[in-house]
Amino acid sequence: MDRLPQLRQALIPAVIFLCTGLSIASMFLLLPRGAGLFATGYRAAGMLTVVSPALLLFACVLLFFRPHLGYLLGANAALLALPWFILTESSCWDSSWHYLNGPDQFSAYYRPVAILRILSVALLATAVACSVLRLLPSVLPRKFRVSGRTWPAIVVGVAVPFAWLCHSAMPWMLPGIVDRGTSGDLWILHVEKRGLRFHETNVGINIRDARFGVSEYDRRLFQYRFEGSTSGGAMPETIRQRAADLVHSPTLGNLRTRPPIPLRSWNAEGWYIRTGHVPVRAFTSEYGTTAPTELIDLLKQILKLPAVRGSSFAFQDICLGFCYDPLAGLGFVYSNDRCTYLPDGTTRCF
């Protein structure tokens, strides 16, 4: 009967160690062929990570017989696995969080691995914190004592992936490398924000072929999925010429605006424009700036043209709408789409 309180105290840490080991092992089993544990070149860190699940399982059993040694082994086993996760994440353009974005079926093959990577890091942080707390001496008054408690470890396990999310998931993007080529000459994005809801209209124009494409999105904050649709058609010569004049306008070329950041006011409106040879321009109600009349008129005229309905699709944002920004709305959505804020305050994307 004297061992019963000790067994109860070891039960939750044992479950944490067990779940951590199972999560890491499951991730290894689901890794796509060709993207194995040692494919990144971090062989030493990879070997330690392979050993970690077995050590965590042994620590899980040891907690019920030699608690002190069990916590020491569990903490060290978790610390052995962390370097591989840190190195492989920091060495790539893509983040595991990016695989949770995108249209339906995008990166679906790797998405379960990304989920297990994130879960493993959260559990590893929880396991380390739990072990440290159980090994701390109980020197503080009982009212302020955290040694032996589990909730601070859970807080750490939530805080670590949340900090990782804020660092690596913003701005919104999709994993992968794409070659844009010459798919367009002018892109106009109009964003209307009403409370938590956004309506976005993105028009892409190919001046040489006199073609246009329209993408529309309806999304809201605190929502993982949002809907979109596409359409396209041909422009008459008069509108094609207006678009060409706008692209080559000296006024537009010499114009400097503030960065195209997301709209945060309760009710706001933004106009954004990009071409192949000038930085992205932003005109928003939050900045107190107004878009050029020719830009607004051109968008309205194009939206009135006959268009062939394209596809409908669903996007996802792992940040529940807070990562998706105007640069993503303008089409800069892949890992090799790099945007730089220049010293003069403008934004140039490549």
Say yes or no to pLDDT of 184 above 80: no
Query: And the tokens for 77?
Result: 């086993």
Say yes or no to pLDDT of 2 above 70: no
Element (H, E) at 270: strand 267-275
Report d(CA 259, CA 339) in Å as an integer. 11
How do residues 89-135 score in pLDDT, each as one tens digit? 877 777 899 999 987 666 777 888 899 999 999 999 999 999 998 88
Determine the pLDDT at residue 140.
Answer: 46
Query: And the tokens for 70?
Result: 């069990």
Query: And the tokens for 326?
Result: 């105007």
Report d(CA 258, CA 71) in Å as an integer. 53
Q: For the chain, give the mean pLDDT.
A: 85
For the ranges 138-142, 149-153, 166-170, the maximum mean pLDDT occurs at 166-170
% of residues, the chain, pLDDT over 70: 88
pLDDT band for position 335 (cuts 50, 70, 90): confident
Residues 6+ apart with CB under 8 A from 254: none
Q: Which amino acid is at 281?
A: R
Name the CA dihedral angle for 279, 221, 320, 164, rounded to a multiple of 10 degrees.
Answer: 60
DSSP, collapsed to helix, strand or coil, labels residue 347 as strand
Mean pLDDT of 202-230: 92
Determine the pLDDT at residue 38.
Answer: 46
How do residues 270-290 score in pLDDT, each as one tens digit? 999 988 767 889 999 999 999
Report d(CA 104, CA 118) in Å as an integer. 20
Are 59 and 130 in contact, with CB atoms under 8 Å apart? no
Report d(CA 232, CA 211) in Å as an integer. 7
| 71 to 20, 53, 67, 332: CA distances (angstroms) | 14, 15, 6, 47
Say yes or no to pLDDT of 224 above 80: yes
Mean pLDDT of 194-200: 95
Residues 6+ apart with CB under 8 A from 48: 80, 81, 83, 84
**Distance, CA of 174 to chain centre:** 8
Supply the pTM of this predicted model: 0.84
**Distance, CA of 18 to chain centre:** 28
Determine the pLDDT at residue 164.
Answer: 94
Instruction: For tokens 């954004």, name the residue.
Output: 272
Within 10 A of 286 (CB to CB), how many other CB atoms are there? 16
Say yes or no to pLDDT of 139 above 50: no
Report d(CA 98, CA 174) in Å as an integer. 5
Which of 1-10, 71-80, 184-193, 293-302 is predicted least confidently?
1-10
